Amino acid sequence: MRHFINDTVDALELKAFYARHDGGGSRNQPFHPVMMGKVLAYAHASDVFNSRKIERLLHEDLAFRMPAAGNSPRHCTICDFRAFHLKALLALFVQVIKHAREMRPVKLGTAAIDGTKVQADASCHRAMRYDRMKQS
């Protein structure tokens, strides 16, 4: 999924993320806006919405490091970016979903997992110790 989001965001029109720079406004964004869009798109696709959890995953999870290109923005930077670019991010998410529907790489829908317990074939009574295996 991270490769799909990474490639899809690169192919989309992202002028809305550059409006802050083009309008002569504040240029103090410490990270590239496209990279931040990729991180937030991947986080939301992975059901991670909390900016502190996203920051932690950018340090711990390799899957989150790829869209971030090795960068690790702080939670306040992620939160500020999301607040400032809320409409552009919504449009980005819609474009990613539309692109996924066109490509049909996966079936979009709901997945449910029940709590069915299945008895395993191997038990602790049938397991063999290493020295016993060497004897046979």
Question: What are 62-89's pLDDT values in tens digits?
Answer: 888 888 888 889 999 999 889 988 988 8
Asked if residue 136 belongs to a domain, the reply is no
Residue 130 counted as domain residue: no
How many domains is the chain built from? 1
Residue 60 lies in a domain: yes
Domain interval for residue 82: 2-109
Q: Which residues of the chain have pLDDT under 50?
A: none
Residue 46 is assigned to a structural domain of this protein: yes
Assess if residue 21 is contained within a domain: yes
Residue 124's pLDDT is 63
Q: What is the DSSP letter of 113?
A: -
Indicate whether 114 belongs to any domain: no
Q: What is the pTM of this model?
A: 0.67
Contact 37, 92 (CB under 8 A): yes
